[in-house]
Copies of this chain bind each other. A is one copy, B any other.
Amino acid sequence: MANYSTSMRLKLPVVCIVLEVILIILFGVLVEYDAHTDAKKWHKDNKTGQFDMENDFYYRYPSFQDVHVMIFIGFGFLMTFLQRYGFSSVGFNFLIAAFSLQWATLMQGLLHGLHHGKIHVGVLSMINADFCTGSVLISFGAVLGKTSPVQMMIMAIFEVTLFAINEYILVSLLQARDAGGSMTIHTFGAYFGLMVTRVLYRPNLDKSKQRNSSVYHSDLFAMIGTIYLWMFWPSFNSAITALGDDQHRTALNTYYSLAACTLATYAFSALVNHEGKLDMVHIQNAALAGGVAVGTAGEMMLTPFGSMIVGFLAGTISVLGYKYLTPVLESKLKIQDTCGVHNLHGMPGVLGAIVGSITAATASSSIYGNGMADVFPEISKDFTASNQAVMQIISLSVTLGMALIGGLIVGFILKLPIYGAPPDTHCFEDAIYWEVPGEEEDHDELTTVKTADESEKLNG
């Protein structure tokens, strides 16, 4: 452990500066404003201000901002539950996300289709980049506390790329529908991260176990993340659906799924505890599984009734996963899943993919009418509903394959002892990578001097 340094003095600056310079050059060469953001293009045909109100901005930007809050506040604070890893949770989340959204713009732009050799950017590309970033942050949750920021940046480079390829296969080649990303975001991010953490297995992680838990205040900070994710999930699932009833319906379905999921979470959290006490880990995570599980079917005519059933199931399997499956994954399969992403994103993501396939199988013009073309463009053309359902299931399989194989390879790349990962004795510890101040310990004038001395001693 002592034969390599955790110092970020050179590693992190080099990685950040080199990557940002590459990004800037590639943006300079490849990226241009789309027709809704370019002064000349937008005004080509629109001579009057009236038409300005039909700019994409007004129909997508509020969704984007909600998604943005989920990425930076939601994911960032959800992971602050660890007692001594708050700076890293919210801080590395911030860094990785700021990088990933730029890299994702390029990767998705290249694969979603160039315009005369250029990538077009606007509010839709911003949402898609945030979505891809979400997937990286899910994987971050699996390895939280056991990796260096440089390791995470390297992971993000590969994961964003694989995400974009998988998304391209699903959406463009297989014609799968997955507006809220049950497959592309959640299943992919979770199983990729689980495979990475498997490869990075630390047999002696229990040397840091005293820090691998929450304290009272850290659980409250984490609830900020949970509640924001919960509230804005309807915006997440509906952010890139077709405009009109599609977006509206997706938000509504997600809202009901989450509400039902929350009741299931509280019910099973109390039930599986021998004293009937609620467990913050369940509330913080399982209550969100309902959003994951309608990520594919949310835009379909799932009905509130169907959404609530899916949400209830998702909350149930998520709590049971935390209680019974996570310990087994760790002891038998050597998967150390810090945040339990398998329970929040993995299983509910797979559930969501299956629900999406079933719902697609039941699509008919008596239900969708002229709205079919928005939800299932292929069924409105030459697919049967069964074709679509099969494509959805193939998409799930492809996603699982890409995630597991990708995670395996990337895991081995990240295993190289050059990234400054923390030793087993110092996992889940901010002080490895951050200047950490002391904690306030007294409240009257006389003793504050002592505090100052003390924190000097601790951090000096």
Q: Bound complex: CA of A94 vs CA of B8, how far in Å? A: 38
Closest chain B CB from A43 CB (angstroms): 4
- A1: Cβ under 8 A from any B Cβ: no
- A65: Cβ under 8 A from any B Cβ: yes
Which residue from B51, B102, B258 sits with its C-beta under 8 Å from A260? B102
What is the copy number of this chain in the assembly? 3
- A191: Cβ under 8 A from any B Cβ: no
Let me know if A437 and B219 touch, CB within 8 A: yes
Let me know if B440 and A217 touch, CB within 8 A: yes
Let me know if B101 and A278 touch, CB within 8 A: no
User: Interface size on A (CB < 8 Å)?
Assistant: 155
Contact with B along A47-62 (1 / 0, CB 8 A): 1011111111111011
- A368: Cβ under 8 A from any B Cβ: yes
Q: From A281, which residue of chain B is reached at the shortest CB distance?
A: B435
- A33: Cβ under 8 A from any B Cβ: yes
Which residue from B123, B267, B370 sits with its C-beta under 8 Å from A248? B123
Q: Bound complex: CA of A249 vs CA of B120, how far in Å? A: 12
Q: From A277, which residue of chain B is reached at the shortest CB distance?
A: B435
- A205: Cβ under 8 A from any B Cβ: no
Let me know if B98 and A259 touch, CB within 8 A: yes
Contact A220-B90, Cβ < 8 Å, known A31-B304, A73-B228, A278-B435: yes
Q: Across the interface, which residues of B come within 8 angstroms of A58, CB to CB?
A: 58-59
Contact A247-B57, Cβ < 8 Å, known A37-B252, A452-B210: yes
- A95: Cβ under 8 A from any B Cβ: yes
Q: From A210, which residue of chain B is reached at the shortest CB distance?
A: B452
- A116: Cβ under 8 A from any B Cβ: no
Let me know if B210 and A449 touch, CB within 8 A: yes
- A168: Cβ under 8 A from any B Cβ: no
Let me know if B40 and A370 touch, CB within 8 A: yes
